[in-house]
């Protein structure tokens, strides 16, 4: 469980940094929020007090859930869901990737728009809102939710606050390959490569 939690957190950080590089306005807005929050002391700042950072994290988990499917469920009895008969004892898999990109639920579902979560009450805990379940929901929700969000938020805030990040020479934002590859988790087909430049020296 520890290995799985660490690996999925690393993947989420990579996706979030890639989306920030492609969306410079979002990156600059996030930098301003962090600067206004930390008051010069980034090491002791709490990412949970940064609403735009949390919105960026949620939007990343919506577009790029670390796993396509949630924990399998079993139908305890035969039931009907939207004219589909689910036989008793069927194994049920929830497709988080498809739910989070459903155009019936999400406005411009393929765009990275963190502000949608500033205007929404959707939470990472699911709360039976089945359009967004990156950590599952109910009794079998991921036990590492709080640890993961704290860990990811802290690292991203440090990276964004301490450095400006640029792509290697010759690569433009639109050239960044956002193709997904599925093994056990969904990660970037081409690993993200960025060059850090200290912001304190500018």
Residues in the annotated binding site:
142
- Which residues, at least 6 apart from 79, have a Cβ–Cβ distance to it below 8 Å? 85, 86
- Note the helical H segments in 39-192: 51-63, 96-99, 115-118, 145-162
Nearest C-alpha neighbor of 69 from the set 151, 184, 193? 184
Angle subtended at Cα 14 by Cα 28 and Cα 29, rounded to the nearest 5 degrees: 10
Placement of tokens 């301003």 in the chain: 32
Which region, left, alpha or beta, applies to residue 36 given φ > 0 means left and ψ of -120 to 50 means alpha?
Answer: alpha
Q: Which residues pair with 86 in a beta bridge?
A: 79
Where is the binding site for heme, in residues? 142
């Amino acid at each position: 469980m520890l290995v799985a939690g660490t690996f999925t957190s690393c993947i989420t950080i990579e996706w979030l940094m890639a989306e920030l590089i492609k969306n410079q306005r979002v990156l600059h807005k996030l930098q301003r929020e962090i600067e206004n929050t930390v008051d010069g002391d980034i090491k002791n700042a709490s990412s949970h007090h940064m609403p735009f950072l949390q919105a960026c994290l949620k939007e990343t988990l919506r577009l790029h859930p670390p796993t396509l499917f949630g924990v399998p469920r079993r139908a305890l009895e035969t039931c009907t869901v939207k004219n589909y008969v689910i036989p008793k004892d069927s194994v049920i898999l929830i497709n988080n990737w498809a739910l989070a990109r459903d155009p019936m639920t999400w406005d411009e579902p393929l765009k990275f728009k963190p502000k949608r979560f500033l205007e929404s009450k959707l939470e990472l805990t699911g709360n039976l809102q089945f359009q967004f379940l990156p950590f599952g929901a109910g009794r079998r929700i991921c036990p590492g939710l709080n640890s993961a969000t704290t860990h990811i938020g802290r690292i991203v805030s440090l990276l964004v606050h301490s450095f400006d990040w640029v792509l290697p020479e010759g690569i433009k934002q639109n050239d960044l390959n956002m193709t997904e590859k599925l093994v056990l988790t969904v990660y970037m087909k081409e690993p993200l490569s960025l060059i850090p430049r200290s912001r304190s020296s500018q």
